[in-house]
Amino acid sequence: MGLALALSFLLCFCLHGLSSGSPYFTSLFTLGDSYIDAGNFVIMAPPAVPVWHDRPPYGMTFFGRPTGRLSDGRVTVDFIAEQFGLPLLRASLLNRSDNVSRGINFAVGGATAIDVDFYERSKLVQFKLINNSLNVQLDWFEELRPTICNKTVGECFSKALFFVGEFGVNDYNFLWNAGKTEHEVRSYVPKVVKNIAVAVERLIKGGAVYVVVPGNPPNGCSPTMLTTRSSLNKTIMYDRIGCLSDINRVAKYHNSMLHAAIRVLRGKYSHARIIYADFYGPIITILENPSRFGVTGDDALRACCGGGGAYNWNASAVCGMPGVTACKNPSAFVNWDGIHYTEATYRFIAEGWLHGPFADPPILSALRY
């Protein structure tokens, strides 16, 4: 039994409890990185940057073709959109002349919480970054606001749901890849969290009422980091699941600081509903109990689509490259391509955000008229 089928049994009681008269959102706007990108990176990437996720087998499970999403199918915000009868969001850079009143996706793969020029000036990266940070995406939203709605601020977004993130993974990955220690990477967390909190505040001041803010996933469990970091440091420490302890400790520190920042914002803007979405817990839940979710234990930390190696990730043979194949049943895997997750995993995460227990508060319980 694959992850998707297992989850259908585990979560059916939650779905059964929904009534057709439940309150709903009328639009969905998302800012973020590659975990929810719907094609913006494909559009933004300069010719010198290789792009592979615009080719099969990406999209194989649901769409039957690549859509710019970095998965075999739908991602978290797609399931959120379906819950409220909204269309699956298109990438904001595709065609801005289209009607976007029901929502649009501003997320871009590789996006950071801190502006990209900081990493270039600090020489933390040795290449030119795409200008796709959180502030850039907020500016895109502001530019598009007259197209979205010409009513007063309060009327325009009272039934809109906003996602801010996930943000932070790329910031920390740049630091890890630059050879920074755990202590050094940890020192950047307050700046990352502050930028996210400022963005949430900026949206609320602009009329947003419902804002979902996801934390970081356990990036120390990703096949990419497990492969690259283990080859760099032979004394690296692993947890009982087999994940990288230092990376996951930073992720948990980020999440605790972000959750605290959200509580501060709730006190400041009592009319808003700011939801902390746990991106870490659902993935660890599956990894700790893989057989319960139809995942073979040996495959729990391996990518479905990859070019071989202990974790089925190889920098010279990544998913989408000629000759690189995907597993036959992605729903039996947690990870899709070494970094991102399978549709089945994203479904589980989305259900946990909608109904609980992986959100504070769950999205559906936060609704009010």
**Which of 33, 55, 72, 79 has the alpha carbon at shortest distance from 219?**
33
Let me know if residue 34 belongs to a domain. Answer: yes
Is 235 a domain residue? Answer: no
The answer to whether position 52 is within a domain reads yes
* 178 CB burial (10 A radius; 0-12, 13-18, 19+): middle
Report pLDDT digits (tens) over 221-245. Answer: 999 999 998 766 656 799 999 999 9
Residue 283 structural domain: 27-218+244-291+342-365
What is the number of other CB atoms lying within 10 angstroms of the CB of residue 189?
Answer: 21
Determine the Cα–Cα distance for residues 27 and 71; give it in Å rounded to an integer.
23
Q: Are 39 and 68 in contact (CB under 8 A)?
A: yes
How confident is the model at residue 153, as a pLDDT? Answer: 56
Q: What is the pLDDT of residues 88-107, one digit of tens each?
A: 999 999 866 567 889 999 99
pLDDT band per the 50, 70, 90 thresholds, residue 325? very high
Q: What is the pLDDT of residue 100?
A: 84
Domain assignment of residue 17, yes or no:
no
Report yes or no on 310 lying in a domain: no
Please, how many CA atoms are within 13 Å of residue 208, restricted to the half-sphere of its CB?
28
Say how many C-beta atoms besides its own lie within 10 A of residue 187's C-beta: 12
Strand blocks (E) in 48-164: 103-105, 160-164
Choose the weakest-confidence range: 7-21, 28-42, 339-353: 7-21
Phi and psi at residue 344, in whole multiples of 5°?
-60, -40
Residue 199 lies in a domain: yes
Can 337 be counted among the known catalytic residues? yes
Question: Which amino acid is present at 120?
Answer: E
- Number of domains making up the chain: 1
pLDDT at 20: 36
Determine contact, residues 225/238, Cβ cutoff 8 Å.
no
Separation of alpha carbons 222 and 244, rounded Å: 9
Q: What pLDDT is stored for residue 13 in this prediction? A: 34
In a domain, 299, yes or no: no
Q: Which of 72, 278, 337, 355 is catalytic?
A: 337
183 labelled catalytic: no
The CA-based angle 210-83-137, given to 5 degrees, is: 45
Q: What is the CATH number of the domain that holds 128?
A: 3.40.50.1110
Which of these is catalytic: 34, 71, 92, 222?
34
Mean predicted lDDT score pLDDT of the chain = 91
- 244: DSSP letter: B
Which candidate in 222, 246, 254, 340 is catalytic? 340
| Cα torsion through 50, 54, 56, 59, rounded to 10 | 140
The residues with which 306 forms a beta bridge, in sequence order, are 325
Q: Is residue 176 part of a domain?
A: yes
The alpha-helical segments, DSSP class H, found in the chain are 3-16, 40-44, 76-83, 116-121, 134-148, 153-157, 169-177, 182-186, 189-205, 223-232, 245-268, 280-288, 343-355, 363-366
| Global confidence as pTM | 0.93
CA distance 312 to 303: 5
- Comparing 251 with 48, the larger pLDDT belongs to 251
Residue 81 backbone phi and psi in degrees, to 5? -60, -45
